[in-house]
Structure formats: C-alpha cells, structure tokens
Structure 1
Amino acid sequence: MVMVRTLQIKDHGLPLHLTLYESSPQAPVAIFIHGMTAHAGFYSDMIPGANYLQALAGAGLNVVALDLQGHGRSGGARGRFTYAEAIRNIRRAVDFALETYHDRIGITGSSMGGILAFYAALEDPRIRAAVCHNVLDLRDIRPVLYLRRHFILVPLARATRPLQPILGELPIPVRAFLEPSHVFEKPENRHRWLRDPHCVWAYRLKAWVSVFLEPSDKPPVEAMTKPVRLLVGEHDRILPADMHRAFAARLRGRSDLIVVPGAGHMLPLEYLETTVPLVAEWFHEHLHA
C-alpha cells in the first residue's frame, strides 16, 4: 500500500516542500524534480486518473518529490532561483532521503527537471543512478536555441552580464520561449496546465541566464559515471529526439536512450503507462540491496 505525506525541509532557512509517496522502507528511493513552470502536485493532481508519482511508488519506489525554491509550495519569490540554488535544493532532498530511508538513492525528473536531475547526479556522489526525461548540455545550449531560432539570446545574455545587478530581477514570460501546444498534445490538458494556480509563468532574467546561459559552473556531460537512462518522445518538439541521440553518444558510462514511439513531450502524464516501467526498472536494476 502506498503511503502519501507532505512535509517541509529547510535550505538556508528557506522552506522546501516535499511530497512523499512511500512504497516500503527498503524500496529504492527516487527523488523527483519537476519541469519548468511546474511543481510536484502538477504530476499527481492536475489530470484526473493520471497520478505519475503514485504510479512510480506503485511500481516499488519510495518517491521524494521536491518543489524547487520559487516554485509550487516551496518558499522564495516565484521564478527566482539559480542553477547553484537548484542543485543545493536537491542536495537537501538527498540529505532527507539518507536520514529517512537508506543510501540506495536515484534521481529522476521531467523536462527542465530531467536536465537538473542529470546535473545533480553529476555533482552529488550520493546519487547512485538517474533516469532523465529530457537532457541538455547546459554548457552549450546553442543547438536548441538555433532550432528555436533564438539566435540572439547567447550574445544578448553575454551583453547583459554587466547589467545583472540592475536587470537580474526582470521577469521574462515563459511563453516567450515555450509554446503550450508543444508541451501537451491534448487541448484539455493544456487548459488545465494554464489554469494551475501553483505554476510559474515568468522567470527572472537572472534565473534564465544562470541555468541556461552560464556555462562556467556546470561540469562536462562526459564526466557522468553513474548509470543513466535518457527518455524522450519521438515527436518531442521542445527537446527533440535527435538532440538526445547526439547527447547519449557522448556518455562514457553505463547508459541507454529510449525514444518512445509516437510520443510528444509530456511523457509522465500523457504516456504514463509507458513511462513508469521505464523509470522503475532502471532503478530496481541499479539500486538493488
């Protein structure tokens, strides 16, 4: 029987909201990181009958779902965070998992959360395996910018660095970069997303630059030594499958890439029955006692 509870932990005094879906005390732990705009509850409550987090727990995992600072029910101004703060938030979730369960800890995430999950696994030796729905080389995101015809963003970001103390808090709408129809295929799901009161619809310029346009504080993807599975929909229009194939070819450790046939971007919610076994089997294989 899956037990569900919520609680708060602290990171430098800031409350971070955790949602726990617990399978059994000795089950492998999967820390879950949400995508852009989202929060943990987005993956459990938004679409009737599509509780991704409970399904993962039902597949034999203890799920620790984190709301990053500035998101969902965690503290901090909406849309204000940096790459370093996100990695630190995740470290606090790992601390909690070690104190509460055991050391068989993996990490998974969706969209931006998959990208951050990959880097958290790179940076935190306590994370033993990862399943990433979407990845991106944060040291060089030019391929995706060129794909989206956002050629000007890299030189523009470099030009604004001296002005960060002044412009860093400027809110940049998510829809300037992200088309809702590319996220959800079904219109009714897009409408639910756009009405979610806990979603973030603008990020501070500082957040965009820190996560996506500042390479100096990210390790190279080739440094990954943990077992990592990459997931992407065949027709993902945000982070395409070909980009994932090129990324996977650079990994030197134990890894695989699964391209879900016929799928778009939102694997956890619109392709739940396919995605859950792919996540669970990887963690059961690599986080066994």
Structure 2
Amino acid sequence: MTINKAHSEQTYWHCYHDPALLARVLAVVQTRHLPSTGVELHIDLYQQANPAAPVLILNHGGGGYGGIFVGLALAFYEQGYTVVVPDQKGQGRSGGAMGDFTVAEAVQNIVDVAAWARQEFAGPLYLCGGSIGGGLTYAAAAALASQGKPPVAAVCLNLYDFGDPVTGLAFTRFAALANIPGLARTCRAMSGLLAKLAPRLRLPYRPLARFENMMDERDLALGFYAKWQADPLTLRTVTARYFASMLDTAFAIPLEANTSVPVLVMNQKRDKMVKPQLTLNCYQRLSGKKDYVEIDWGHFSLLPEFNAELVNIGEQWLASLGNPDL
C-alpha cells in the first residue's frame, strides 16, 4: 500500500478555530494521501517522534471531515498519541464525487487506514469516532476482528447500527416513523430498490437530519452553524446508494456477538439532533468487554472543554484495560 506526502490547498476549516489553536495545529499536523476504494483519501497526521507511541484513528461523522475536528486530534496528540484522521471517500478533502459513497466504503476506508498505520507505526492501535463515525468505528473494528486483526479497543461517541433499518431511520429527521410497525423495513426495501434503479440519483442531505442541532448552545453562540452551512467541503447532497446503505449495511460482527474488541460508548445527554436513547439501545445490545458514560453535551462540540472531557474519559478507560503502553 503506497502513500505520498502531497499537501491539500483547501483551508476553509481554519475559520472554525481560534488563531492560538490553529497555530498549534499547523505546527505539528502533516498531510498524507492513501488509495482506498478507488479514490485517494486525505489524511491529517499528528505523528509522535516515538514510532512505538499508541496510534489513534479518529473518524468523523456525516456532518464533517478531519479539518473540523483538529482540536480533538491535537488534544490526543498532546497526550502522547500518534493521531490519524482520515476524510472518508466523497467527503471533505478526499477523492471521489462529493456525497457518492456507501457505508461499506466508509468502513473499508477505515480498515485500509488501519492497515497502513500498522505498517508505519509500531504502537498499539485504537479506533475512535463520533456521530455516524461512532457506528463506523465499531463497524471497522468488527471488520478488523473478523480478519483476526482487531484493534486494542474502540471508543464510540454514539453507536448506531446501520444494518437495522429502525435505528438507521431513527438517526434522521423522520425518526418518528421508526415507531410505526413495519415502516422502517418498508423504507429499507424502497430505498434499496431506488438505489438499484438510480444509484447516483442525488438526494438533498441536510434536510435528512436536524443539523441545526448538531451543536448545543455553547458552540452556536460562537457562530458555528453559519460557518458550517457555508463550508464548501460539507455534504449538501448524497446519492441514493448512500441513503440505502444507511439502512442496510450489517456489521461484520453483530453487536450481540462481539467478543474481540473492548468498546467504550459515550452518550450525550443534551443531544437534540439524535435521541440519546438510540445510542443506549445499541449499547445494551453490545456484548463483550464494554463500558458506558453519559456526558453533559450536545451531539458534538469544538470547545476545548469538550475535547478535554473526551480525552480524560477515554484515557481513564483505556488505562483500565491494563495496556502497559498507556
């Protein structure tokens, strides 16, 4: 697997961050490009001098890309991790038509990045992700485990099951429809048929979910939503095949069958974008070594206090696993 050191020229993401944070990020972040699923992925790399440092792959959700979450990446880097932040296919600064991808391709992107990280670095491998990226993180960990190569652990800020149309539909603005018996499975069948007939038919993305509630009032007061709406690298439309994949992409290892990967699930009590009960339901189905923490935040945040809390909780939990490298 080859990789090059080309640098992205797309820097809109700078506007989300204060100058002091941005200066710290730009002093350490590197760019890599990696082939995966027929395109070239953009990777932000925060590399420790010690090649045996623990490696954390940080996975974004459907409303963002790596450049938005540099504060969290830097917070883990400053705790001694080599942090790898890929933009998934058709999102952010990675290749492919914007919005034209599937859940399975996003999972494969993470699996490919994990394979590259294991070639480049000697430290133990961890996966982390939030929002849709929380579900993708478990999905990738399960895929790696099914190959006999599980990560040491996975940390999921939100956990969603893309193979269950009830939870897949509940993630959207139309969550109430998931309560009507049989309707979620009907939606899965209809979306699957549409994806076969017109796989690249464009559907408006932002009306699908309550993105206005992606952050709580603390971030909104700083003007995040207006910046996000104007961001040229965030999704505006997605293809029919993407929407269908959100309702019908089973995990390689179902939640109930997990035995190989310790999983920490964090859930946001103030989340008004996706009901916290959805993550709790998925956590309760999860087998194997696991833990659950509720935090007093909305769906996501860029504030340093949020990043510090996530790092602190994650560090304490990973240390409880008894890994001598932490």
In 2, are the aligned partners of 1:241 and 1:259 still within 8 Å (CA)?
Answer: no
The structure showing larger relative contact order (alpha-carbon pairs under 8 Å, at least 6 residues apart) is 1
**Residue 44 of structure 2 corresponds to which residue in structure 1?**
19
Q: Secondary structure at the match of 1:68?
A: coil
**Residue 142 of structure 1 corresponds to which residue in structure 2?**
166
**Residue 198 of structure 1 corresponds to which residue in structure 2?**
233
Residue 75 of structure 1 deviates from its aligned partner by 0.7
**Residue 47 of structure 1 corresponds to which residue in structure 2?**
none
In 2, are the aligned partners of 1:268 and 1:275 still within 8 Å (CA)?
Answer: no
**Residue 32 of structure 1 corresponds to which residue in structure 2?**
58
Residue 284 of structure 1 deviates from its aligned partner by 4.5
User: What do residues 122-167 of structure 1 show as CA deviations (whole Å, max 9, x unaligned)?
Assistant: 1103322100011012222415635722445641341343443432
**Residue 166 of structure 1 corresponds to which residue in structure 2?**
197
**Residue 272 of structure 1 corresponds to which residue in structure 2?**
307
Structure 1 range deviating more: 147-156 or 133-142: 147-156
1:129 matches 2:153: yes
Which amino acid is 1:200 matched to?
Answer: L
| 2:206 maps to which of 175, 195, 206 | 175
Residue 213 of structure 1 deviates from its aligned partner by 1.3
Q: Distance in 1 between matches of 2:152 and 2:160?
A: 20
Which amino acid is 1:58 matched to?
Answer: E
Instruction: Give 1:216-235 correspondences, 5 Å limit.
Output: 218-225=252-259, 226-235=261-270
Which amino acid is 1:134 matched to?
Answer: N
**Residue 10 of structure 2 corresponds to which residue in structure 1?**
none
Q: Distance in 2 between matches of 1:175 and 1:285?
A: 39
**Which residues of structure 1 form unaligned runs of 5+?**
45-50
Q: Distance in 1 between matches of 2:82 and 2:287?
A: 29
**Residue 106 of structure 2 corresponds to which residue in structure 1?**
86
Residue 78 of structure 1 deviates from its aligned partner by 0.5
Residue 232 of structure 1 deviates from its aligned partner by 1.4
Residue 217 of structure 1 deviates from its aligned partner by 6.2
Q: Distance in 2 between matches of 1:88 and 1:275?
A: 26
Q: Secondary structure at the match of 2:88?
A: coil
Task: Using structure 2 for the length normalisation, give the TM-score.
Answer: 0.79
Residue 259 of structure 1 deviates from its aligned partner by 0.4
Residue 192 of structure 1 deviates from its aligned partner by 1.8
| 1:42 maps to which of 53, 60, 68 | 68
In 2, are the aligned partners of 1:59 and 1:277 still within 8 Å (CA)?
Answer: no
Over 3 Å counting, the alpha-carbon distance change for 1:148 and 1:164 in structure 2 is: closer
Q: Distance in 2 between matches of 1:258 and 1:268?
A: 19
| 1:109 maps to which of 123, 129, 139 | 129
Q: Distance in 2 between matches of 1:145 and 1:95?
A: 32
Residue 280 of structure 1 deviates from its aligned partner by 3.1
Q: Distance in 2 between matches of 1:72 and 1:204?
A: 16
In 2, are the aligned partners of 1:106 and 1:283 still within 8 Å (CA)?
Answer: no
**Residue 8 of structure 2 corresponds to which residue in structure 1?**
none
Over 3 Å counting, the alpha-carbon distance change for 1:104 and 1:60 in structure 2 is: same
Residue 86 of structure 1 deviates from its aligned partner by 1.4
Task: Using structure 1 for the length normalisation, give the TM-score.
Answer: 0.88
| 2:248 maps to which of 210, 214, 230 | 214
How many aligned positions are there? 281
Which amino acid is 1:149 matched to?
Answer: A
Q: Distance in 1 between matches of 2:280 and 2:37?
A: 38
Which amino acid is 1:169 matched to?
Answer: R
Aligned-residue CA RMSD (Å): 2.3
Q: Distance in 1 between matches of 2:185 and 2:284?
A: 25
**Residue 6 of structure 1 corresponds to which residue in structure 2?**
31
Q: Distance in 2 between matches of 1:64 and 1:154?
A: 36
Which amino acid is 2:298 matched to?
Answer: G
Q: Distance in 2 between matches of 1:192 and 1:162?
A: 36
In 2, are the aligned partners of 1:221 and 1:251 still within 8 Å (CA)?
Answer: yes
Instruction: Give 1:220-259 correspondences, 5 Å limit.
Output: 220-225=254-259, 226-259=261-294
